[in-house]
């Protein structure tokens, strides 16, 4: 129990006092370098330095248990430090430590923490170039001033590190290392050391001159590499090529994406699209097979293997068998591809549902339109029945009314049945404007409606279905409104010169603003219904190239206008 408590408490103490731990680790390294690698106490100090490094190391959390391989590596480092430690190993260790610390500089956004690691990097590089590397040069002898600076001047940086303020919540943030920046900085330092050694050996120059040449050469190469990475001439550089390579990881992902985009253009069925897309996924070099499952369908492709990677998101579950174990980057790419495939599949499902909804909406609109036509015919029959019951004008007038109205009702009922059997032919039927206008006056004769006739062309043609449905709906609504609100005048105006214009006006109360705003855009609740008839007429007019609008909406004058360009009659054929 005490051991577990100590195990949990040690990472907390390290995270709280990490700055002191780091300085102590560097102090032991400094003492080891000053005493020399041949000294026995220096090797013991180096062993203590490795122990503090293991406590600070950013590769594993303190709560983790070490594996046998990790213990073997630590034991090997301790053996090297005790028995085989020399200046070359010291040089290599300083390069590695400088690379680790330099890689952490680019990750931290906190200012003081970044300054702390920059100071540590300055100390390590200075110790490497001033004290350790000159020990490996037989022709170079350090001056007394340089030795004193290395022994007593470099430790002043420890005081600077301790003086820097510690960032809040620094210990709670897990330590990470950017491998790319660490490896790049490690190679730069190694190149600086080897370049200086090469200049001294081949160029027969002293150490400061060789170090200067190496620094200038590395700076020039980095400058050229920076210009090639992000050129200022308006074209892409190495950064674009490198980013493209990272996104594709050298594999033909782009071809599969192009195939997926083209497949979505011509394949409409979701299950077939998913099946062919997964088959295309199986053509990638590292994929040996896989299985997929949706809410309705499932399938498989290729051959299974022991290495798998899975993606699941709502409607799609995808498992891919690979020829070898995938790295985290390839796993991330696979999840990206699975997400794109899932989005395409969901788009296909939405498209299919939209087609079904469009079909249901077309059936609904057709049925609603037919219902209103039948309702208007029923109202006409009710008028005839009411006239037959009253017999106010005598049997002769009733007989004339029946002879005039019954054929019209029979004809409109036949047209309604034709719409159900042949909707395309029914919607394209046309009637002469003057003939239609006279028939409308006959149908509503004796209903106390004022008909106002404008200019009507002899050759003008109107869509029969639209104008009959619009006139019946508007006039019947006005008559029903008059029964509810009291006696008021109803007028119907029609003109068909350059354009066709039908207006139905009543003298009742104005329509409420909320109802008038949505009246022709969709079904709205009202005193006599839901306004479905007017909505259907407005949609029918829009399809036929006309428009239905609420022209006036005030007490004493409420009018609807149906207007649009009519179609002229065809010229007679030449003999």
Q: How far is CA 247 from the centre of its chain?
A: 18
Structure tokens at 340: 């794109």
Cα–Cα–Cα angle for 544, 548, 550, nearest 5°?
Answer: 175
Model confidence at 4, in pLDDT bands (50, 70, 90)? Answer: very low
Q: What is the pLDDT of residue 184?
A: 86
The CA distance from 76 to 66, in Å, is 15
What integer best gives the mean pLDDT of the chain? Answer: 77
**Is the pLDDT score of 284 beyond 50?**
yes
The CA distance from 175 to 26, in Å, is 18
Structural domains in the chain, sorted by start = 2-204 (no CATH), 246-350 (no CATH), 431-575 (3.30.565.10)
Structural contact between residues 81 and 72, judged by C-beta atoms closer than 8 angstroms: no
DSSP β-ladder status, 557-564 and 567-568: unpaired
Question: How large a percentage of the chain has pLDDT more than 70?
Answer: 72
The CA distance from 556 to 549, in Å, is 18
The CA distance from 356 to 348, in Å, is 12
Nearest to 281 by CA among 242, 311, 306, 247: 311
Q: What is the pLDDT of residue 59?
A: 62
Phi, then psi, of 118 in degrees rounded to 5 = -65, -40
**Is the pLDDT score of 36 beyond 50?**
yes
Model confidence at 125, in pLDDT bands (50, 70, 90)? Answer: very high
Structure tokens at 357: 């909804």
Helix locations, 38-67, DSSP H = 40-56
First to last CA, the chain: 116
**Is the pLDDT score of 380 beyond 50?**
yes
**Is the pLDDT score of 163 beyond 50?**
yes
CA distances (Å), origin 559, targets 384, 444, 494, 508, 545 = 27, 18, 13, 10, 20
pLDDT mean over 69-81: 79
Each residue's pLDDT tens digit, 385-407: 766 666 555 566 666 666 666 67
Each residue's pLDDT tens digit, 289-340: 888 888 777 888 888 888 888 888 777 888 888 877 777 767 777 788 788 8
Q: What is the pLDDT of residue 457?
A: 82
Higher pLDDT, 207 or 515: 207
pLDDT mean over 235-239: 63
Where on the phi/psi map is residue 531: left (φ > 0), alpha (ψ -120 to 50), or beta? left
**Lowest mean pLDDT: which of 57-71, 90-104, 343-357, 490-504?**
57-71
Classified as helix, coil or strand, 291 is strand
Q: Quote the pTM value.
A: 0.48
């Amino acid at each position: 129990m005490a051991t577990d408590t100590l195990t949990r408490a040690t990472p907390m103490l390290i995270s709280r006092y990490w700055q002191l731990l780091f300085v102590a680790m560097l102090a032991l390294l400094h003492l080891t370098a000053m005493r020399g690698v041949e000294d026995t106490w220096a090797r013991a100090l180096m062993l203590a330095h490795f122990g503090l490094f293991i406590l600070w190391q950013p590769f594993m959390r303190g709560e983790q248990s070490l594996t046998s391989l990790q213990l073997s590596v630590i034991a090997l480092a301790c053996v090297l430090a005790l028995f085989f430690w020399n200046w070359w190993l010291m040089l290599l260790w300083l390069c590695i430590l400088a690379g680790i610390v330099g890689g952490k500089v680019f990750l931290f956004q906190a200012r003081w923490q970044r300054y702390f690691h920059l100071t540590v990097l300055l100390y390590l590089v200075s110790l490497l170039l001033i004290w350790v590397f000159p020990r490996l040069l037989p022709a170079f002898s350090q001056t007394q001033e340089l030795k004193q600076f290395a022994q007593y001047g470099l430790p002043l940086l420890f005081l600077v590190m301790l003086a820097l303020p510690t960032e809040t919540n620094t210990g709670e943030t897990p330590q990470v290392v950017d491998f790319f920046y660490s490896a790049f900085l490690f190679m730069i330092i190694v190149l600086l050391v080897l370049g200086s050694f090469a200049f001294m050996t081949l160029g027969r120059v002293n150490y400061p001159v060789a170090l200067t040449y190496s620094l200038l050469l590395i700076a020039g190469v980095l400058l050229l590499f920076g210009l090639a990475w992000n050129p200022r001439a308006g074209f892409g550089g190495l950064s674009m090529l490198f980013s493209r390579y990272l996104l594709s990881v050298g594999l033909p992902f782009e071809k599969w994406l192009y195939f997926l985009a083209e497949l979505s253009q011509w394949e409409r069925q979701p299950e077939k699209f998913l099946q062919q897309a997964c088959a295309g996924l199986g053509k990638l070099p590292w994929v040996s097979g896989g299985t997929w499952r949706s809410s309705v369908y499932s399938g498989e492709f290729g051959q299974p293997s022991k290495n798998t990677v899975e993606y699941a998101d709502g409607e799609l579950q995808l498992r891919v068998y690979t020829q070898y174990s995938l790295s985290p980057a390839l796993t991330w790419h696979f999840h990206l591809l699975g997400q794109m495939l899932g989005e395409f599949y969901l788009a296909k499902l939405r498209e299919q549902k939209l087609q079904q909804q469009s079909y249901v909406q077309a059936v609904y609109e057709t049925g609603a339109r037919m219902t209103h036509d039948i309702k208007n015919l029923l109202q006409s029959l009710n008028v005839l029945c009411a006239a037959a019951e009253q017999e106010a004008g005598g049997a002769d007038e009733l007989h004339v009314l029946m002879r005039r109205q019954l054929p019209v009702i029979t004809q409109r009922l036949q047209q309604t049945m034709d719409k159900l059997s042949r909707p395309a032919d029914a919607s394209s039927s046309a009637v002469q404007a003057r003939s239609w206008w006279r028939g409308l006056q006959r149908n509503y004769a004796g209903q106390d409606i004022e008909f106002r006739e404008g200019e009507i062309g002899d050759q003008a043609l109107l869509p029969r279905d639209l104008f009959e449905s619009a006139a019946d709906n508007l006039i019947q609504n006005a008559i029903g409104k008059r029964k509810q609100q009291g006696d008021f005048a109803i007028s119907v105006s029609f003109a068909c010169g350059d354009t066709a214009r039908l207006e139905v006006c009543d003298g009742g109360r104005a329509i409420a603003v909320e109802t008038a705003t949505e009246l022709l855009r969709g079904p709205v609740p009202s005193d006599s219904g839901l306004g479905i008839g007017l909505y259907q007429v407005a949609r029918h007019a829009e399809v036929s190239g006309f428009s239905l609008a609420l022209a006036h909406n005030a007490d004493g004058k409420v009018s609807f206008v149906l207007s649009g360009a009519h179609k002229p009659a065809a010229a007679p054929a030449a003999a």
